[in-house]
Structure 1
Amino acid sequence: MTEVGPFVPEEVNFAPNDPEYPKNWPDSRKFFIVLLVSGFGFLTPATSSMVAPALDQIATDLHITNSAESQLILSIFLLGLGVGPLLLGPLSEIYGRAPVIRWGNLFYLVFNTAGGFARTNSEMLIFRLLAGVGGSAPLVVGSGVISDCYHPEQRGFAVSIYNIVPLLGPALGPIAGAFITQSISWRWVFFIVSLADVTLQLMAAVVLRETYPPVLLEHRKSLLFESTGNPNLRTPYDNERSRDLRTVLRQSLFRCLQLLVTQPILQVLAIYLAYVYGLIYLVFSTFPSVWETQYHQSSTIGSLNYISLGLGYLSGSLICAVFVDRIYGELKARNDGRTEPEYRVPIMAAASLLVPVGIVLYGWSAGKSLFWLITDIGGFIFSCGIIMIMQSVNNYVLDAYPLYAASAIGAVTVVRNIPGVVFPLFAPYLYDAVGFGWGGSLLALVAVCIGFPAPVIIWIYGRRLRISSQFASNNERE
C-alpha cells in the first residue's frame, strides 16, 4: 500500500476504550437518549388509543354508522405501525438511527395533525394510517439504540424503561382523550399530541446522537480519508452496507421479510407476541363499553379504570428491571461466564401464566358486574403479564440478532400489529355472542395454547437454531 500523509491502519474500528463507541458513553448520556426515544415511543401508542373514548363523537361528526368502521379508526393506526418497520428498521441500519427517528416523527407529526382537521371517514382513515407509518420509527429503532448503547447484562433496565413508557401510552392515553373530548373537542386530542411531539423534536435536536456503530465508523473513515487521502481505508461493515439508493431500498424492504421467513426463532416469537398484542387492543377497544354498560359509569369516570392497566404495565416492568439482569447474571455465572440469549426466557415463561389468569378474571367479573375493583385486578394481572412478555421477547431478539436488531424487531412488529388491527373489529361481535365471561375464557384458552409452548421451544431449541443461522449470534458480538 502506498501511504499518503501520516500512517493510518487500513481497518477503521473502535478501540477497546474508545469514547466514541456508544457502549463506552457515560451512563447519563445513554440514559437521556433512552428517555428521549421512550418519550417518542409514548406518544405513538397514546395516539393509537386516545381516540377510543371519542369514537362515538367522531362517528357522529363524520357520519359513520357501522360499528366496525368506527373501530377501524382506532385500529388502522396499528396497520401503519406494522407497515413502517418494513422500511424504517433496515433504513436505520444503513443511514443510522437518529435520522430515521427525526424524519419518521416529522412524518407522523404532519399526518397526526391532519387527523384533527379530517372531515370525512376516508380522510380520517388515510391520515391515521400514514401517521402510524411515521410513528413506528421510535418503536422499531429504539430497540436498536439500546442494543448499540448497552452490553447484554446491562440492557434489562434500559429495555424496561423503553418498553414501559410506550405501553403507558395506550393505558393513559384514553384517560386524557376522554377528558379532552368532553372538555373541548375530539379534534384537540390530535392537536395536543402534536404539540407534545414538537417539544420532543426540539429536545431531540439537542440530545439525540447517532448510536449505530457502522454509521459512526463510516463517518470516521470519511474524516480519515479527507485528512490522509488513504483509499484503502475500510470498516468491518463495508461488505455488508451498500450506498446505492435502489439497492438500499431493495435490501430495506427485503431484509425484514427475509428474517421473518428464514428464522424459526422470530416466527415463534412473532406469533406469540402477535396474539398477546391483539389482546391488548381488544381490551382497549372494549374497555369503554365495559364500564359504561356493565357498571353504568360516565365516559370520563370509566376512563380512569385504564389506570389499572397502566399499573400492571408499571409493575411488570419493575419486575423485569429487578429480575431480568439478575437471572441473566446468575445463569451466566453457572455456565462459566458464557452468555446466551436464552437466559431471557425464564421471565417469559412466568409471564405466560399471568395473561390467561388476568383475562379470565377480567372477563367473568365484568360479565357478572362484580365489584369494579375485581375487574380492575383482572386487567392489572393481564397487563402485568403482557409487559413482561414483551420485554422478554425484545431482550431476547436484541441478544440473538445484535447486528440486525432493528430489522429483527421490525419483522416481529409487522406480524405483531396485524392482530392489533383485526381483534378490535371482531371484539364486539365476540362479546355480544357469548358474553364477557365465556369470551374471556376462549381468549385465555388460546393464550395457553400459544403462550405455554413458545418459551419451551426457545429454551430447548433456541441455541441450536441460532448456530445454524447466518443472521443470529452464536455468542455475544460486541
Structure 2
Amino acid sequence: MLWRFVQTFGGSPGLSVGAGVIGDIYRLEERGTAMGIFFGACLLGPALAPLVGGIITQYASWRIMQLFLGAGGLIAFILIAFFCPETSIPGSRGIDKKRAELVTRDEAPGEHWFKIIWINPLQTLYMLRSPNLLAVALAGSTVLLTDYVILTPLASTVGAQYGISNQAALGACYIPIGLGNFIGAPAAGYLSDQIVKRRRIQRNGVWYPEDRLIGTLWASATLVPLSTLGLGLITTYVESMWGLWMAFVCLFANGIGVDLVLSPSTAYVVDIMHSRSAESMAANNGFRSLLISAALAIFMTLLDKIGLVWTNAIVAILAWFGFGLLWLTVRYGEQMRAWVDIGYTTIENA
C-alpha cells in the first residue's frame, strides 16, 4: 500500500501540470481539442495495460510488469530532465522565486541560508469554495465512478459469468472501455471547441464559459448511466456469447460517454481559471480521487450484499445526479460565479 501511494504521488502531478501547460499555450477555441488529445494519449495506457499485463501474468510473471513500469518512469524522468531545459531555468522556477522572497533587503548576497518552509499540499482544495468548480468536480466524480465500479470487479462479474479465466483473455475484456476512452477524449474536446466558437459568433463575440459544458449534457444523461445500468442487467441475465458481446458494447459506450463529459469539463476548469490552471486542476483531480476511492470501497461491499444489478443502478442514479449538476452549471453558471469570486478568467486573458 505504501508503494502504491508513492507511485500515485509521483504520477499525479503530470496530469495537473500537463493540463496547465495546455492552458498556457493554446487559445480558447483550441484548448478543448488539445486537452482531448492530451487525455486521449494518457488513456492509451489503461486501454492497453490490462491486455499486456494479462499476457505477461499468464505466461511469465506479474513482477516483470513492475520492472517495465519502473523502467518507463526512469526513461520519462531522463527525457524531462535533459530534453526539457525550460522546466529548470535557474531563477525562473517556483522554488527560486520563493527563495528570493525570503531574502530580506538587509541581507548581503551570499549571506542567506536555507530556511524550512511549510507547504500545505491541501491548500489548493480551498479553490473548491467556488460553486462552479465544486459542481464540475462532483459531476466528474459521479461519472468517473461508473468507470471504476465497472472495471474493478470485471473479472468476477463479466469474467465469471462468461467463463473467462485466462488472464490474457480477461485483460482483453478491458479493451472496449479503453478504446472508448481513447476515441472519446479527442472527439469531445473538438466538439466543445466547435460549440464555443459557434456560440460566441451567435452572441457577437461575447464569451460565456459554460458553453464548453453544453456537449457534456447528453452524454451524462444517456451514455454514462444507461451503459452502466445495461451492463449490470446484461451480465446478470444474458448468459450466451451474445451477452458477452452486448457487454462489450456497453463497456465501449461507457468509455466514450465518460470522456465526452470529462474532457470538456477539464477544459472548462482551465478556461475559467486560466491564471491558476495547474492549481485548479490539482484541486479538481485531488477531490475527485479522494471521493472515488472512498465511494469505491462502499460499492464493492454493496456488490457482495445486493448484487450487480442494484449496485450498477445506484451508480447510474449518481451519474444522473452529475448530469443535474452540469445542467445547473450551464444554466446558472454566470450567477454561480458571482457568488464567490476566486479570480475567474475574463475574455481579455482567456
TM-score (ref. length: structure 1): 0.64
Amino acid in structure 1 at the alignment position of 2:262? M
1:412 corresponds to which of 269, 280, 284: 284
Tell me the residue number matched to 1:338: 206
In the superposition, relative to structure 1, how do residues 138 and 439 fare at CA in structure 2: closer, same or farther (>3 Å)? same
* Greater relative CO, 1 or 2 (CA 8 Å, sep 6+): 2
Query: More displaced, 326-335 or 420-429?
Result: 420-429
Contact 1:278 1:416 in 2 (8 A): no
Aligned partner of residue 431 in structure 1, secondary structure? helix
Tell me the residue number matched to 2:76: 200
Cα deviation digits, residues 74-122 of structure 1 (max 9, x gap): xxxxxxxxxxxxxxxxxxxxxxxxxxxxxxxxxxxxxxxxxxxxxxxxx
Tell me the residue number matched to 2:331: 460
1:130-141 to structure 2, matched below 5 A, reads: 130-141=6-17
The answer to whether 1:174 aligns with 2:50 is yes
Tell me the residue number matched to 1:348: 216
The answer to whether 1:441 aligns with 2:313 is yes
In the superposition, relative to structure 1, how do residues 242 and 415 fare at CA in structure 2: closer, same or farther (>3 Å)? farther
Aligned-pair CA distance for 1:346: 0.9
Amino acid in structure 2 at the alignment position of 1:198? L
Aligned-pair CA distance for 1:342: 1.1
Aligned-pair CA distance for 1:206: 4.6
Aligned-pair CA distance for 1:193: 1.0
Aligned-pair CA distance for 1:259: 0.7
TM-score (ref. length: structure 2): 0.85
1:283 corresponds to which of 147, 150, 157: 150
- For 1:241 and 1:325, the matched residues in 2 are separated by 40
Cα deviation digits, residues 249-308 of structure 1 (max 9, x gap): 44x536413212x21111111211122222222222111112331111122212101111
CA RMSD in angstroms comes to 2.7
Cα deviation digits, residues 409-450 of structure 1 (max 9, x gap): 1111111012332344344432232322222222112211x2
1:153 corresponds to which of 19, 29, 38: 29
The answer to whether 1:303 aligns with 2:203 is no
Could you tell me which runs of 5 or more consecutive residues in structure 1 were left unpaired when the two chains were aligned: 1-124, 221-237
Contact 2:131 2:337 in 1 (8 A): no
Tell me the residue number matched to 2:180: 312
- For 1:254 and 1:198, the matched residues in 2 are separated by 27
- For 1:343 and 1:249, the matched residues in 2 are separated by 39
Contact 1:160 1:320 in 2 (8 A): yes
Aligned-pair CA distance for 1:246: 7.3
Could you tell me which runs of 5 or more consecutive residues in structure 2 were left unpaired when the two chains were aligned: 103-113
- For 2:99 and 2:349, the matched residues in 1 are separated by 18
- For 2:232 and 2:333, the matched residues in 1 are separated by 34
* Number of matched pairs: 330
The answer to whether 1:269 aligns with 2:136 is yes
Divergent runs of 4+, >6 A: 215-218, 245-248
- For 1:440 and 1:311, the matched residues in 2 are separated by 21
Aligned-pair CA distance for 1:400: 0.3
In the superposition, relative to structure 1, how do residues 183 and 216 fare at CA in structure 2: closer, same or farther (>3 Å)? same
Identity across matched positions, percent: 25
